[in-house]
């Protein structure tokens, strides 16, 4: 509302109410904590709605859709791809500008693990952390986040080519402390490690990083100061999932449905305890989260691939070394016996390790030898069959028992060619001595069998034959049960058939 007032000849413009200015001053703002240039699958981060009113109850929006979360700090315990998007908060009726968060479906290039200690520690205790970057740690720095404050940890390298480094966390007094490391450009960083504190004697140990979908995770019930645990009960929420004398519980083939709050109850005694009832204590709850980072694929021929990766990544191979995986010095395909995995690497990012593949070079050698032997035997058999087909001539004429029946099989030029091959000297003279003539159907009589004369006989009783002719055995001269055979002599009737009585 504008009020015009005349005073001393001057016009004064009074701004009694300027709602737009008030709204501008009250406009909230969204910030991310810890401050991360990249957010990877499994990262923990907080979204903080900051406004002049500092209201405890606000509205949150993701991609312009109102969410159920109403606190001014929205915690994402384990980032997933569906957490990507545009975030806004609303306080006192005013919306903030949008803040875009992109969750990478891969892992950061470096790894940070707890070398000594547990993910849940007693207050004022410390852990030893181990940083590893396969391409060297020169210029790397680590950070620690406590509450809403960040501190830097100066690393002391032994050499410029160091790829691993251990450092102490210092006393842990906050309920939650987050560690991570980056290079100078902050374009390459490690994963986060979250360490929590508890004053209870019993704690539930869960791997500090999110469980990988498809892998397994082990829960362990610990008691500070003793390992004399007679019974352990594991809970998911308030439901018992395992109860035994074992202090560990294994979840195989993790899925998103395994996410939730877990705790354990331990029955235990101390070594110095000589009497009295055992202690029974329940741990604080711990959240188990699942993540599905993209993994490489290793085939049985040791070829590594990543269909979901950007173009032209490099591949690295790892060999099982007890409980750890040791990177091979060369990025070439591994050879020799062993159990191997691989991953793709590019631009400060990498995939999760592939499924393991076991190789036994002895079996490969045996299979190769067997295959080569089979191929050699098949080739030899094929050559033998072809050789036999080419070299085999077979008998042209088959020896028949004395007195048996036979018929001439030679037909056409085929038999002539066979005869010429067997008797080249006859072919050269143009003659075919001993050639058989076809038996004419009209020259045969029922019941008459013709046999060749064993010699070139010129006469004999019955019918005279020419050289190479035949002698007819007449039906009327045969008697039932009498078989005639050719005489062994080559001439005359004296060498005629002999009769043998059956």
- Give me the mean pLDDT over the 351-357 stretch: 93
DSSP secondary structure, 396-455, as one string = SS----TT--------HHHHHHHHHHH-HHHHHHT--TTPPPPPPGGG--TT--EEE-SS
Say what percent of the chain tops pLDDT 90: 48
Is there a single domain that holds both residue 116 and residue 154?
Answer: yes
Domain assignment present for residue 428? The answer is no
Cα–Cα distance between 458 and 447 in angstroms, integer? 25
Return the pLDDT at 116. 94
Work out the average pLDDT over 343-362.
89
Q: Is residue 173 part of a domain?
A: yes
Provide the pairing of β-strand 39-40 with 103-104.
Answer: parallel
CATH number at residue 32: 2.60.40.10
pLDDT recorded at residue 92 = 87
Mean pLDDT of 87-93: 92
Query: What's the pLDDT band for 293 if we cut at 50, 70, 90?
Result: confident
3-state secondary structure of 164: strand
* pLDDT for the residue 362: 61
Predicted local confidence at residue 129, as pLDDT = 97
Task: Specify the number of domains making up the chain.
Answer: 4
Pair (229, 283) in one structural domain? yes
More confident residue, 426 or 335: 335
Residue 51: per-residue pLDDT? 84
The length of the chain is 502
Residue 98 lies in a domain: yes
User: Most confidently modeled of 91-95, 143-147, 338-342, 381-385?
Assistant: 338-342
The DSSP letter of residue 200 is: S
Is the same domain home to 271 and 355? no
Q: Are residues 220 and 191 in the same domain?
A: no
| C-alpha span between 121 and 119 (Å, rounded) | 6
Quick one: which H or E segment has residue 282?
strand 279-282
Q: Is the pLDDT of residue 205 over 70?
A: yes
The predicted structure's pLDDT at residue 329: 83
Provide the pLDDT for residue 123. Answer: 92
- In the predicted structure, residue 421 carries a pLDDT above the cut 70: no
Tell me what percent of the residues of the chain surpass a pLDDT of 70.
70
What pLDDT does residue 454 have?
A: 43
Q: Which residue has the higher pLDDT, 370 or 162?
A: 162
Q: Are residues 222 and 282 in the same domain?
A: yes
Contact 465, 431 (CB under 8 A): no
In terms of average pLDDT, the best of 45-54, 97-106, 156-165, 437-446 is 97-106
Residue 456, pLDDT above cutoff 60: no
Q: Are residues 159 and 128 in the same domain?
A: yes
Q: Whole-angstrom Cα distance, residue 71 to residue 498?
A: 131
Is pLDDT above 70 for 407? no
Q: Give yes or no for residue 231 having a pLDDT over 90.
A: yes
- State the pLDDT confidence band at 25, using cuts at 50, 70 and 90: low
pLDDT at site 54: 65
Residues 6+ positions from 152 with CB-CB distance below 8 Å: 141, 142, 143, 144
Mean pLDDT check: name the lowest of 6-10, 258-262, 429-433: 6-10
Confidence at residue 31, expressed as pLDDT on a 0 to 100 scale: 93
- Same domain for 262 and 273? yes
Full domain range(s) for residue 120: 107-199
What is the pLDDT of the chain when averaged over all its residues? Answer: 78
Question: What is the mean predicted confidence (pLDDT) over 11-39?
Answer: 67
- One domain, residues 211 and 281: yes
Q: Tell me which of 133 and 489 has the higher pLDDT.
A: 133
- Asked whether residue 266 is assigned to any structural domain, the reply reads yes
> Quick one: pLDDT at residue 324?
85
- Given 176, 199, 222, which residue is the final one in a domain? 199
pLDDT of residue 444: 47
Same domain, 225 and 284: yes
Of the pLDDT bands very low, low, confident and very high (cuts 50, 70, 90), residue 208 is confident
Query: What pLDDT is stored for residue 372 in this prediction?
Result: 84
CA distance 261 to 244: 20
User: Which residue, of 163, 182, 199, is where some domain finishes?
Assistant: 199
- Looking at 53, 71, 104, the residue that finishes a domain is 104
Q: Is residue 347 located within the same domain as residue 324?
A: yes
Higher pLDDT, 147 or 135: 135
**Residue 206: which pLDDT band, with cuts at 50, 70 and 90?**
confident
User: Does residue 228 lie in a domain region?
Assistant: yes
> What does residue 380 show for φ and ψ, rounded to 5 degrees?
-65, -40
Q: How far apart are CA 341 and CA 354, in angstroms?
A: 5
- List, in order, residues 6 or more apart from 36 with CB less than 8 Å away: 43, 45, 180, 189
The SS3 of residue 494 is helix
Q: Name the least confident of 107-111, 208-212, 385-389.
A: 385-389
Residue 14 lies in a domain: no
Is 413 a domain residue? no
**Position 440 in a domain:** no
pLDDT confidence tier of residue 367, bands split at 50, 70 and 90? low
Most confident of 60-74, 414-428, 488-502: 60-74
Which of 4-18, 59-73, 487-501 has the largest mean confidence? 59-73
Higher pLDDT, 324 or 67: 67
pLDDT greater than 60 at residue 57: yes
* 210/184 same-domain check: no
pLDDT at 158: 84
Question: Mapped to the 3 state alphabet, what secondary structure does 60-87 carry?
Answer: EEECCEECCCCECEEEECCCCHHHCEEE
What is this structure's pTM? Answer: 0.66
465: helix, strand or coil: coil
Which pLDDT score, from 0 to 100, does residue 217 have?
A: 92
Given this model, what pLDDT does residue 359 score? 87
pLDDT band for position 27 (50/70/90)? confident
């Amino acid at each position: 509302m504008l009020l015009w007032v005349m005073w001393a000849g001057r016009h004064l413009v009074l701004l009694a109410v300027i709602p737009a200015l008030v709204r501008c001053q009250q406009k909230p703002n969204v910030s991310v904590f810890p401050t991360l240039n990249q957010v990877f699958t499994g990262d923990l981060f907080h979204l903080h709605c900051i406004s002049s009113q500092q209201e405890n109850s606000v509205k949150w929006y993701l991609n312009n859709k109102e969410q159920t979360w109403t606190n001014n700090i929205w915690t994402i315990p384990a980032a997933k791809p569906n957490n990507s998007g545009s975030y806004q908060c609303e306080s006192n009726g005013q919306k903030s500008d949008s803040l875009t968060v992109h969750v990478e479906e891969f892992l950061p290039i470096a790894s940070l693990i707890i070398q000594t200690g547990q993910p849940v520690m007693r207050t004022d205790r410390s852990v030893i952390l181990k940083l590893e970057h396969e391409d060297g740690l020169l210029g790397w720095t680590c950070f620690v986040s406590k509450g809403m404050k960040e501190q830097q940890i100066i690393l002391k390298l032994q050499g410029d080519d160091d790829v691993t480094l251990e450092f102490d966390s210092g006393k842990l007094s906050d309920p939650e402390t987050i560690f991570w490391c980056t290079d100078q450009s902050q374009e390459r960083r490690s994963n986060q490690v979250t360490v929590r504190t508890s004053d209870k004697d019993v704690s539930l140990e869960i791997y500090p990083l999110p469980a990988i979908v498809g892998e397994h995770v082990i829960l362990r019930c610990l008691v500070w100061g003793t390992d004399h645990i007679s019974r352990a009960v594991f809970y998911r929420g308030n439901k018992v999932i395992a109860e035994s004398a074992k202090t560990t519980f294994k979840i195989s083939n993790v899925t998103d449905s395994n996410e939730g709050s877990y705790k354990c109850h331990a029955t235990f005694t101390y070594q110095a305890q000589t009497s009295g009832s055992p202690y029974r204590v329940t741990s604080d709850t711990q959240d188990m989260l699942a993540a599905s980072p993209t993994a490489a694929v290793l085939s049985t021929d040791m070829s590594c691939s990543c269909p979901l990766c950007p173009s032209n990544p490099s591949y690295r191979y790892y060999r099982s070394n007890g409980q750890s995986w040791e990177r091979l010095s060369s990025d070439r395909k591994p050879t020799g016996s062993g159990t191997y995995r691989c991953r793709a690497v590019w631009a400060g990012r990498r995939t999760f390790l592939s499924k393991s593949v076991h190789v036994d070079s002895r079996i490969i050698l045996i299979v190769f030898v067997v295959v080569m032997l089979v191929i050699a035997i098949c080739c030899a058999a094929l050559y033998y069959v072809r050789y036999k087909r080419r070299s085999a001539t077979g008998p042209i004429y088959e020896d028949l028992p004395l007195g048996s029946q036979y018929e001439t099989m030679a037909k056409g030029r085929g038999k002539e060619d066979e005869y010429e091959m067997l008797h080249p000297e006859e072919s050269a003279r143009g003659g075919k001595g001993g050639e058989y003539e076809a038996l004419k159907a009209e020259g045969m009589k029922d019941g008459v069998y013709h046999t060749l004369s064993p010699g070139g006989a010129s006469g004999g009783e019955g019918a005279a034959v020419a050289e190479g002719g035949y002698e007819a055995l007449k039906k009327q001269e045969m008697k039932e049960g009498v078989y005639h055979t050719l005489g062994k002599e080559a001439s005359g009737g004296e060498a005629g058939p002999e009769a043998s009585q059956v």
